[in-house]
Structure 1
């Protein structure tokens, strides 16, 4: 299988999709969001297209759920049964960036969490964490949950303003690589994201 990197987060709405878009565009990789919940406000696949990922590199979701909540409940409300076998990683020769939904322990079904799916895939994970208050606890709990399942962790990517002590202690106590920090961008578009990504991350780590 080609190089696959899974992008997950410590929570929802922390910048995971922006990071995944920046990474996919920088690597020339395909992007895949296996489960999308909430369609009214647009999809993450549509957003990464506006952030520099070509349409031809964006794979269709395995499940598109209308209700904006955890996938397990959104599926039940929408009358959909999520089959884990449909979440197998797509084949292909190009690199692949896979974005999870919400945090590490978000339920995909009532018996399986995203961390369990990551364990089945057995591919390196990038944990995206904000730099604000609470990130040490959330990051270390997420790292423990991944390690308990044997999920390989490539490192932690931070989002937001610099908070040196928090970023350093997560890497030190969690025994993970500190990949870099992506600042909040205004304006946020493909050009500004590309420039910021190349300035703040060593792409060779992801190759």
Structure 2
């Protein structure tokens, strides 16, 4: 069995899908069958009478994953909220963990590596009583945490690392992602700070609109 990862964020809007797509493409380029999953997506748009997940589509295309999108992303909501909250607000069925686990096994059986992207951060509830950290533990996933290179990054990354430790999760590492082209004192110093805070768990930095560093990919193979 190949490696199975949860791509999560230290908070929302940090570049999870960017990192997930880059990893999917890189693994596929090395001849691997890459499965992808976005078990729950929020902020989806209506398209042809159905809710469409742009993140799930992007992951599938990057990894050349031909599995149906209904399996890759079984739960979709319009509201850009934590999944359990979005389901409640929209009066829609909440994500069912057993269904997610079944689809996960189906994808895993066809894959050499599997990338599961969360929605928001680790502590966001998938369903009430189960957050993404719990899901990672249930599915035996290694966690790749993505931090946005912007002010507030250090605090968010430190809290995420502490939460992973408290939950006894398998941690593959932390990646810093440039989400904006503009530089600031924070973007110029965040990497050095994360190297000190995360130590060997710091995998590297993905610079704005540049390919993912080979060293990051190889650390996850």
- 1:176 positional shift: 4.4
Q: How large is the RMSD of aligned CA atoms in angstroms?
A: 2.2
The TM-score with structure 2 as length reference comes to: 0.79
2:114 maps to which residue?
96
- Length, aligned pairs only: 196
- Tell me, yes or no, if the aligned pair for 2:42 and 2:83 is still in contact at 8 Å: yes
1:46 maps to which residue?
57
The structure in which a higher percent of residues are strand is 2
1:9 maps to which residue?
9
For 1:184 and 1:35, the matched residues in 2 are separated by 26
Query: Where do 5+ consecutive residues of structure 2 fail to align?
Result: 29-33, 47-51
Please give the per-residue CA displacement for 1:46-85, whole angstroms capped at 9, x wherever unaligned.
Answer: 23356x3325166521312233321001112242032212
1:63-78 equivalences under 5 Å are 63-76=75-88, 77-78=90-91
Q: Structure 1 residue 32 and structure 2 residue 37: aligned?
A: yes
1:189 maps to which residue?
none
- 1:170 positional shift: 2.4
Q: Structure 1 residue 174 and structure 2 residue 174: aligned?
A: no
Query: Where do 5+ consecutive residues of structure 1 fail to align?
Result: 186-192
- Tell me, yes or no, if the aligned pair for 2:42 and 2:77 is still in contact at 8 Å: yes
Q: Structure 1 residue 118 and structure 2 residue 136: aligned?
A: yes
- 1:100 positional shift: 0.5
For 1:67 and 1:134, the matched residues in 2 are separated by 25
1:56 maps to which residue?
66
Q: Structure 1 residue 109 and structure 2 residue 127: aligned?
A: yes
Greater CA drift, 32-41 or 141-150: 32-41
